[in-house]
Amino acid sequence: MTSSLEQSLQGEPVAAIATPVGVGALAIVRMTGDGVLGIADRVFKKARSAEGSLADSSGYTAHFGRLCDGERMVDEVIVLVFRSPDSFTTEDMVEITCHGGPEVTKQVLKLLLDNGCRMAEPGEFTRRAFLNGRIDLLQAEAIGEMIHARSESAYRTAVNQMKGGLSEKLGMLREQLLHSCALLELELDFSEEDVEFQSRDELTEQLERLQEEVGSLVESYQHGRLLSEGVATAIVGKPNAGKSTLLNTLLEEERAIVSHMPGTTRDYIEECFVHDKTMFRLTDTAGLRQAEEEIEHEGIRRSYEKIAEADLIIYLMDIGASDYEEETEAINELREKHPGIQLLVIANKIDTAEDSIRRAEVVGEKTGCKVLGISALKEEGLEALKAEMNTMVEGLDKLHDASVLVTSMRHYEALRNAADALQNARELVDAQAETELIAFELRSALDYVGEITGKVVNEEVLNVIFGQFCIGK
């Protein structure tokens, strides 16, 4: 962490609106930094019965009065005072609760900017909390994930991460790596005396334990990603199978255009759907067929890309008009090309064919897949479909309360790099390589773990992380 980076952000008073822009009963405008209590005193007039300035008040106190620009009243407000170091940023902070509405909050913010504050950058409050040591980088990211969580599972995962379970785990890993690095550095200092401060057998055992712990975290990413981002679910099938109707029915809104004309969906449509705590990222794809024009061809190409990226494929077919051989071939082809992806076959439009149950059984026999019958238009069989979707990803249920779970691609890549460095170190030990080479790999692993929590800081990485936050956070 560079001193120039700290100096560029800490101290200077900043202000921002902390609540969404729009009409509401109340809104919050907040300030942090040196002198914010003095700024508040210049624009805030307490109710007549109250005495004393905000600068003299204790932390965690609320004050009722008016914000004024000279003699002009801006709004009646409640001012909350937080004293350093017992605040979110560890600096002096002031939060002003005013009446909601775009113009009210705009006027309150303008008043603070006119009296000495600078407009906060995206995520600057959380960034200061990190730079001042109140939270680590991983916990800062968890705050952003909690704000943007769209399912209970994603929310609980973010809360657990913010509580510090993963941070504690990574801290223990760093301590073990630091211990081994220190012993190897001592060996280098006494290289002329040929002293071994840690036997290579002990070092091998240590590396095995570290590899196991890091490997466990790397493997947890698959589950963590599904909980935080949702289960990528591609709805595929021939044109006019009812894919768009199914999407609209599951979302309970008219999101996709529905038409009897084949090829209506030219590009994929992606929306989120939550069922029983699990979020599914549904993608309505273009109908799979031989394209008749360039635009449709591009839509089908993108459909195949989404299929390859999916965690779950829902293959939908019109059971009343299906060519068994053609549908069977398409389903089996999907199974062969994507063996690691869960595949659920749905016989749609069961209300249009008297022998729909038997037809579905035939498809199941020919493909070896379980086939569910539904009517997306009449909303028949949808509860069974939702239950089956959850069953196919039921392993997630066991992870809802997990405290140590990797959910970020950034964390995953850093851990993968750390795992590679540990493997390199172990191979060097087995080959009885020079101590300096082993130490280099262990230091690399230490740096990769440190990147996750912010012990090793890259300003560009910080800008990317905090740039995704809203201004007032």
Please indicate whether residue 317 or residue 135 has the higher confidence score (pLDDT). 135
User: How far apart (Å, rounded) are the C-alpha atoms in residues 472 and 22?
Assistant: 15
Percent share of the chain, pLDDT over 90: 34
Helices (H), 190-257: 200-229, 243-251
Q: What is the pLDDT averaged over residues 423-451?
A: 91
262-288 pLDDT, tens digit per residue, is 444 445 677 888 887 788 888 887 655
Residue 442, both tokens: 């262990």
Q: What is the pLDDT averaged over residues 290-299?
A: 52
In this predicted structure, the answer to whether residue 396 has a pLDDT above a threshold of 70 is no
Residue 411, both tokens: 């964390």
Residue 174, both tokens: 């760093």
Q: What is the pLDDT of residue 342?
A: 85
Q: What is the pLDDT of residue 365?
A: 80
- The domain limits of the chain are 3-136, 146-225+405-454, 230-399
Contact 414, 448 (CB under 8 A): yes
Q: What angle do CA 308, 404, 278 make, to 5 degrees?
A: 50
User: How far apart (Å, rounded) are the C-alpha atoms in residues 15 and 204?
Assistant: 53
| Close Cβ partners of 215 (under 8 Å, ≥ 6 residues apart) | 419
Residue 19, both tokens: 């609540």
87-99 pLDDT, tens digit per residue, is 999 999 999 999 9
Percent share of the chain, pLDDT over 70: 85
Please indicate whether residue 301 or residue 377 has the higher confidence score (pLDDT). 377
Name the β-bridge partners of 314.
235, 344
Closest by Cα among 311, 308, 261 to 282 = 311
User: How far apart (Å, rounded) are the C-alpha atoms in residues 286 and 234?
Assistant: 11
CATH of domain 230-399: 3.40.50.300
The values of phi and psi at residue 318, to 5°, are -80, 100
User: How far apart (Å, rounded) are the C-alpha atoms in residues 443 and 456?
Assistant: 12
How distant, in Å, are the alpha carbons of 178, 182, 208, 435, 449 from that of 175?
5, 10, 15, 20, 11
Contact 391, 146 (CB under 8 A): no
Contact 308, 334 (CB under 8 A): no
| Terminal-residue alpha carbon distance, the chain | 21
Closest by Cα among 141, 285, 282 to 224 = 141
Q: How confident is the model at residue 39 (pLDDT cuts 50, 70, 90)?
A: very high
158-170 pLDDT, tens digit per residue, is 888 888 888 999 9
- Sheet containing 231-237: give its strands across: 269-275, 278-284, 231-237, 312-318, 342-348, 371-373
Q: What is the pLDDT of residue 267?
A: 52
- Within 10 angstroms of residue 418's Cβ, the number of other Cβ atoms is 27
Residue 299, both tokens: 């839509």
- Residue 2 DSSP code: -
Closest by Cα among 221, 213, 259, 255 to 240 = 259
User: How far apart (Å, rounded) are the C-alpha atoms in residues 243 and 307?
Assistant: 14
The domain 3-136 having CATH identifier 3.30.1360.120: the answer here is: yes
| Least confident window among 68-72, 382-386, 458-462 | 458-462
The domain 146-225+405-454 having CATH identifier 1.20.120.430: the answer here is: yes
- CB neighbour burial string for 70-94, b if at least 16 within 10 angstroms, e if fewer: eeeebbebebbbbebeebbbbbbbb
In this predicted structure, the answer to whether residue 417 has a pLDDT above a threshold of 60 is yes
In this predicted structure, the answer to whether residue 390 has a pLDDT above a threshold of 90 is no
Contact 300, 278 (CB under 8 A): no
User: How far apart (Å, rounded) are the C-alpha atoms in residues 60 and 87?
Assistant: 9
Name the β-bridge partners of 47.
none
* Cα dihedral 39/44/46/52 (nearest 10): 20
Contact 33, 12 (CB under 8 A): yes
How distant, in Å, are the alpha carbons of 231, 239, 243, 391 from that of 347?
22, 14, 11, 18
